[in-house]
């Protein structure tokens, strides 16, 4: 059965209820108690048993890979190195050309091929060039007259570094992955003297020219040609070329350094991802295991046990909030189960009373032959049957109330008009009993958002209770006011009032304290249902006695007052 007040998980605090067995201090005991089932999944590595851990690691590595790929693709180091190399070669070619211009005689014929006026080979031999640089000198007839190569300085040893295996694999993998995204390959450029001769025609025109090309193997070659001027005429050309692959080797080393940092970053990222995943996946796994334990509650192994929800509320994150919410939810569910069990026990007790009376009357009816006694016994049977019918109807209505309160849509309505209609409905019954029914309602409407039919049921119960407790000459006053955002409505009477000891019990299920001639005509669920309806609307209902003065609590009550407060 569901005839219990709607539970609110946010209000349930397992730490405030010693009967709720949920928290971390819960241990298995020999006499039976809540415990956590062993989780075989925890024996497997985190990355294998947790999809969340795999996702965290995958996305972190993917982000890192995208970052490294962006660095390698968009890294300006290559462009800067190419630009600086070109600029350096241009300056060096122009400087060598100036040296030749200084060595040329001011007057007289000059023939570089015949070493007439200047010995080009002697000039270039007297210069020092950096390693990886080739120097060519041509005369105006495009004939090579001098040639030199840069060599390492004395005592300088070029280190040979073996490429690490893993870095080499990553480097080759990058070359394969980046191949589809490279631009169209340019035509292969001849190296050495061929590259120099390709610029002669333009350089003999009197201007410095340069070109960046590639060998058939894809290595970069830089070539610069600068004219050697004698006055306004071109006396020859100085051409510089780099050794094929030198720049590529520098770029490759730089890329390998990036990939080595990438490897370190992968290890760090995986480690941190595992730590992060463990702080997320493990607690969630524990919460899931606890929930699955509750789902398998029907098995004999778990009979009599309560679900244990790990207490992670101290965590300042969503998992802490989830743990607290689940603990509150489970506590509220157990409260609901306990309340249902108590309700079932109360129903059984309430039904047993008229059944006992019925059985006694039926057994006595079989034995008596007196017509008057048989008539009285039949009246008792009829009264008990009506009592059972009323009790079953009220229990049925109460059990459906929770679902109906959730399903029905709340709408705004005029509380004043509803109270007027209810007062007119009960006025005939009040007049028949000699009771004055007074309506003290404002002219202005009071708009309340809720279920009008259910709230009308509340006021019908209150007015009907007042009519049942009042006698001839008494009065019932129904009045309402709006104050501070609340609609306050009152049903007060001049009846006997409410015993002090009953003020806190009258809203309990099946509680009924009525005159002897009215016994059995009420189920004792009316006020409990009214309280449930009002609280479902976020309101408040309570009862008090009307006294001559509030200062003297011991004075005899002048009647009873029920107060309903609803938000407007």
The CATH number that applies at residue 501 is 3.30.565.10
CA gap 337, 2 in Å, rounded: 10
- pLDDT means per 10 residues, the chain with 568 residues, are 40 44 39 45 62 78 77 66 83 90 83 84 87 88 89 56 55 59 52 84 89 73 89 89 71 73 81 78 76 60 61 76 79 75 68 76 82 81 77 69 70 90 90 90 89 87 87 90 89 85 74 54 71 86 80 72 90
β-bridge mates for residue 221, sequence order: 213
Note whether residue 294 is domain-resident: no
242 vs 200, 232, 245, CA distance in Å?
17, 29, 9
| Residue 23, domain member (yes or no) | no
Total domains in the chain come to: 2
Strand partners, 116: 111
The last residue of a domain, from among 244, 267, 282: 244
Query: What pLDDT was estimated at residue 359?
Result: 82
Query: Which tokens is 396 given?
Result: 């049925």
pLDDT of residue 239: 92
Per-residue pLDDT, 399: 64
Structural Rg of the chain based on CA atoms: 50
Residue 89: CB atoms within 10 A of its CB come to: 21
Q: Cα separation of 517 and 504, whole Å? A: 24
- Which SS3 state, helix, strand or coil, does residue 100 take? helix
What are the backbone dihedrals phi and psi of residue 42, each rounded to the nearest 5 degrees, phi first?
Answer: -70, -15
477: which residues sit within 8 A by CB, 6+ positions away? Answer: 438, 440, 490, 491, 492, 493
C-alpha pair distances (Å), 258 with each of 249, 251, 255, 319? 14, 11, 5, 38
Specify the CATH number for the domain of residue 207: 3.30.450.20
Q: Are 361 and 377 in contact (CB under 8 A)?
A: yes
Token couple for 192: 């050495």
Q: Which two tokens stand for residue 50?
A: 């947790």
Can you name the residues that pair with 480 across neighbouring β-strands? 489
- Contact predicate 294/213, CB 8 Å: no
Give me 411's structure tokens.
Answer: 């709408």
289: CB partners within 8 A, 6+ apart:
36, 37, 39
User: What SS3 state is found at 553?
Assistant: coil
State pTM to two decimals. Answer: 0.47
Q: Are 27 and 557 in contact (CB under 8 A)?
A: no
Which of 258, 269, 245 has its CA nearest to residue 75? 258
CB 2 within 8 A of CB 403: yes
Residues 496, 6: Cα–Cα separation, whole Å: 32
Task: Find the domain containing 119 and state its range.
Answer: 75-244
Given 215, 244, 273, the domain boundary residue is 244
CB 188 within 8 Å of CB 215: yes
What pLDDT was estimated at residue 71?
67
Sign of the dihedral defined by the CA atoms of residues 408, 414, 416, 421, in that order:
negative
Q: What is the pLDDT of residue 311?
A: 75
List the structure tokens of 29.
Answer: 């005991």
Cβ contact 305:73 at 8 Å: no
Nearest in space to 138 (alpha carbons), one of 125, 150, 147: 147
Q: Choose the final residue of a domain: 219, 244, 269.
A: 244
258 within a domain of the structure (yes/no): no
pLDDT at residue 490, as a whole number: 92
Q: What is the pLDDT of residue 190?
A: 67
Specify if 119 maps to a domain.
yes
Query: What pLDDT shows up at residue 15?
Result: 45
- CB 93, CB 135: distance < 8 Å: no
Would you say 280 and 312 are in contact if contact means Cβ atoms under 8 Å apart? Answer: no
Q: Give the SS3 label for residue 526.
A: helix
Domain presence at residue 483: yes
Greatest CA separation for the chain: 168
Angle at 275 (CA atoms; ends 274, 281), nearest 5 degrees: 75
Structure tokens at 155: 């005592």
How far is 359 from 347, CA to CA, in rounded Å? 18
Residue 285 is predicted with a pLDDT of 75
């Amino acid at each position: 059965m569901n005839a219990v007040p709607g539970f609110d998980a946010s209000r349930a605090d397992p730490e405030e209820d010693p009967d709720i067995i949920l928290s971390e201090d819960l241990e298995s005991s020999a006499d039976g108690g809540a415990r956590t089932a062993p989780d075989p999944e925890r024996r497997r590595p985190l990355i294998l048993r947790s999809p969340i851990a795999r996702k965290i690691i995958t996305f972190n590595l993917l982000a890192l890979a995208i970052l490294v790929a962006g660095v390698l693709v968009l890294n300006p180091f290559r462009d800067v190195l190419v630009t600086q190399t070109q600029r350096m070669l241009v300056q060096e070619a122009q400087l060598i050309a100036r040296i030749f211009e200084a060595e040329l005689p001011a007057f007289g014929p000059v023939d570089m091929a015949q070493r007439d006026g200047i010995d080009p080979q002697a000039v270039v031999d007297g210069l020092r060039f950096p390693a990886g640089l080739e120097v060519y000198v041509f005369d105006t007839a495009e004939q090579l007259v001098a040639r030199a190569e840069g060599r390492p300085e004395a005592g300088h040893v070029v280190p040979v570094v073996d490429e690490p295996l893993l870095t080499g694999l990553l480097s080759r993998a990058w070359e394969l992955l980046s191949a589809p995204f490279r631009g169209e390959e340019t035509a292969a450029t001849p190296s050495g003297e061929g590259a120099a001769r390709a610029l002669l025609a333009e350089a003999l025109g009197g201007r410095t020219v340069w070109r960046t090309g590639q060998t058939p193997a894809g290595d970069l070659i830089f070539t610069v040609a600068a004219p050697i001027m004698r006055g306004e005429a071109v006396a020859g050309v100085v051409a510089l070329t780099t050794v094929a692959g030198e720049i590529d080797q520098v770029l490759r080393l730089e890329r390998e350094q990036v990939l080595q940092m990438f490897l370190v970053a992968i290890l760090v990222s995986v480690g941190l991802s595992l730590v992060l995943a463990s702080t997320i996946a493990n607690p969630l796994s524990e919460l899931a295991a606890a929930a699955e334990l509750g789902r398998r509650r029907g098995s004999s192994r778990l009979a009599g046990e309560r679900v244990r929800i790990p207490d992670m509320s101290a965590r300042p994150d969503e998992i802490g909030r989830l743990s607290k919410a689940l603990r509150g939810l489970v506590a509220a569910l157990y409260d609901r189960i306990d309340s249902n069990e108590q309700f079932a026990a109360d129903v059984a007790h309430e039904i047993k009373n008229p059944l006992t009376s019925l059985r006694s009357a039926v057994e006595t009816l079989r034995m008596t032959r007196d017509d008057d006694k048989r008539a009285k016994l039949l009246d008792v049977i009829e009264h008990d049957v009506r009592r059972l019918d009323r009790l079953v109807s009220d229990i049925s209505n109460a059990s459906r109330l929770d679902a109906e309160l959730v399903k029905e849509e709340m709408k705004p309505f005029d509380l004043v008009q509803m109270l007027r209609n209810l007062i007119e409905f009960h006025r005939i019954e009040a007049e028949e009993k000699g009771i004055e029914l007074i309506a003290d309602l404002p002219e202005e409407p009071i708009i309340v958002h809720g279920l009008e039919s259910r709230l009308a049921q509340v006021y019908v119960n209150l007015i009907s209770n007042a009519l049942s407790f009042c006698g001839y000459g008494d009065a019932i006053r129904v009045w309402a006011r709006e104050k501070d955002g609340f609609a306050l409505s009152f049903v007060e009477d001049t009846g006997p009032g409410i015993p002090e000891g009953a003020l806190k019990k009258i809203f309990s299920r099946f509680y009924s304290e009525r005159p002897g001639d009215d016994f059995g005509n009420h189920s004792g669920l009316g006020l409990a249902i009214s309280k449930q309806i009002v609280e479902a609307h976020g309101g408040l209902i309570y009862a008090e006695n009307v006294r001559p003065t509030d200062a003297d609590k011991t004075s005899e009550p002048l009647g009873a007052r029920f107060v309903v407060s609803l938000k407007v």
